[in-house]
Amino acid sequence: MMLSACGGNELAEGQEEGGVPLDELEEAAMAGPEGPAPLRCPAKVRKELGGPDIIGLRLGMTLPEAMATTRCSLGEEAVVTEENRWLDRLDTNGVALGTQFFTVEKGSYRPCNFASEWQECRGKFKWEHTDEIVRVATPGVPGKETAMVVWRTQKFRDGQMPSADATLQALTSKYGQPQVRENSDSPRGYSAGTRDLQWVYDRSGNPLSEANPLFGRCRNGVYAGGENTGASWTDGCGLNISARVVLSGNNPGLVMELHTAMIQQSSTYAYIEGMQAELQRIGNARREAEVKEAGDASDVRL
């Protein structure tokens, strides 16, 4: 089975990829439900969940756990968008899926005036400034949606930008020494450059060096930066954390944006395989029930 993001590259056997186009998220925001449930903090989360986190979000959380954790972090005024599609090329077997992907965004916004500024709006709102946006992929059959990938973007306002050195130190203090460090001092837009870090592990939780044959297959499982919500997973690869530190064009010693993302590749691979099998089982059971209910030839009047 191969699953991929819209516009994604073809992957080798044993690799899969998922993602949801940004324009579909915008459509969901315009035609979505009345709104999220009332917020109660702190979020109720199973104590046995372990592993690294992004603002308290851990891989393997249920949809309610992940949603509550994100909203408690960003606040009740943050805008929630839910999408019932994330995996491309997934055969749902006619099963109506629940929330497969959600976004929580906070910042300065106002209602969109569609008559004059619809091209500048996202969903129902025109955003003046996004302070933080968290995206979580929660694939699963109805009632079993699970957080499998997490992305977070922070955009710092003038006067609130942290130093680049302090940001890089905070990342290594939280996640340990990365297996990949890549620096770019090429100006781009308002940025003076970037600092990219990746933590790459095998299925057993061992860090991978560049000399390991798995390294090339296991790095870049998830991208941190921009609006990219694609991810790829390979059986045999483990945890993959990515971070991008975007340096301010006005002062390269300051950080204007910080992007982080996280996936456990082998767990995601096994989970998606199991999800597809469960969807097939549910679909087959429904079809068999429909045939049984339709009756036999003696019920046909010609």
Quick: pLDDT tens for 164-187.
999 999 999 999 999 999 999 999
How confident is the model over 107-123, as a mean pLDDT? 86
- pLDDT reported for residue 203: 95
- Lowest-confidence segment of 8-22, 103-117, 260-274 by average pLDDT: 8-22
Nearest Cα neighbor of 48 from 62, 37, 27, 31 is 62
- pLDDT reported for residue 255: 99
Q: How many residues does the chain have?
A: 302
- Is pLDDT at 5 greater than 60 in this prediction? no
In whole numbers, what is the pLDDT of the chain averaged over residues? 89
- pLDDT reported for residue 31: 41
How confident is the model over 100-122, as a mean pLDDT? 90
Residues 194 and 200 sit within 8 Å (Cβ to Cβ): no
Confidence of residue 19 (pLDDT cuts 50, 70, 90): low
pTM: 0.86
- Is pLDDT at 2 greater than 70 in this prediction? no
CA distances (Å), 191 to each of 164, 186, 201, in order? 13, 8, 30
- Is pLDDT at 296 greater than 90 in this prediction? no
Q: In 10 A of CB 156, how many CB atoms?
A: 18
- pLDDT reported for residue 88: 87
Residues 171 and 198 sit within 8 Å (Cβ to Cβ): no
What are the domain boundaries of the chain?
23-299
